A and B are shown apart, each in its own frame.
Chain A
Amino acid sequence: MSHADMPDDIPPLTPAVFHVLLALTGGDRHGYAILKDIRQRTDGRMTMQAGTLYGTLQRLLDLGWVDEIDPPDDEADARRRYYRLNREGRTAIQADVQRMEDLVKAARVHLRPRRA
């Protein structure tokens, strides 16, 4: 996605939203799989519990960035809910990654050692 394609109306994502969206880029997942993915990917630096996770998922469903899908046929526990990242959600996380890349680039320019 180029700079020109990036939507301007997406605010910076909170860490919880960012990590949940990032976990869902790996495929459809249920709640505990999302929690495990976040813990493993951040080496345990970011841990989330179910209350925060489902509050975040509720917001993402309301925003229309994530869809709830039917569980796979081999799912033993009927009480589990599965989630899928949709195109709007992918656009949102790509926009946030681009924003952070721009921020890092700008910071590197300022932090470069100056010649006397």
Chain B
Amino acid sequence: MTPPRTAVIYPWPVRAYRWMTAVYPPAFHSTFADSMAADFNDALRDARHTGRTRGVLVLLAAVAADLIWSITVQWMRTSVPWLTAAYATALVGICEGLAATLVGSAFQWSRVVMLLPLVSAITFTLWFLVPQLRHRRSKTPCLTSAA
């Protein structure tokens, strides 16, 4: 008979890394975050064992660079950045067009270009946060008793 598998409690750097993986797209995060944390735990243990402080610092730098690169790549593989750009462009264009029509000011492309990054950032943040919040809410245990 095989012993039951137990959940491993990781040290705080691994828990912090696990927390940072929440920035990946939700589907990628839910599939791989646990494995990534387990791998980082092993890598950290090996770096401490072989390279001491320098080894740990080299590992942390490599992991930070990898996180930035792979998070960008994973988001680009989803349609969210393109939808965000299209939505933000349409929104700013419509607002500028309405202002030009209603107030009578000239349609200014410079204003559209200036507002675009801001609207894109807000849209992307909302697009990112809403699934995260939904996911967290669905994981919250139900406290009411059925009895």
Q: Which residues of A contact B (CB under 8 A)?
A: 30-32, 35, 47, 49-55, 57-58, 73-81
Contact B73 A55 (CB under 8 A): yes
Q: Is the interface of B mostly helix, strand, loop or mixed?
A: helix
Q: In the complex, how many residue pairs between chain A and chain B have their CB atoms under 8 Å apart?
A: 75
Looking at chain B, what size class is its interface with the partner chain?
A: 20 to 34
Q: List 22 A-B contacts (CB under 8 A).
A: A30-B35, A31-B35, A32-B38, A32-B39, A32-B42, A49-B43, A49-B70, A50-B35, A50-B36, A50-B43, A51-B67, A51-B71, A52-B69, A52-B70, A53-B39, A54-B36, A55-B28, A77-B38, A78-B5, A78-B7, A79-B8, A81-B32
Binding site for A on B (CB under 8 A): 2, 5-8, 28, 31-32, 34-40, 42-43, 62-63, 65-67, 69-71, 73-74
In the complex, the answer to whether A80 meets B35 with C-beta atoms within 8 Å is yes
CB distance from A74 to the nearest CB of B (A): 7
Contact status A51-B35, CB under 8 Å: no
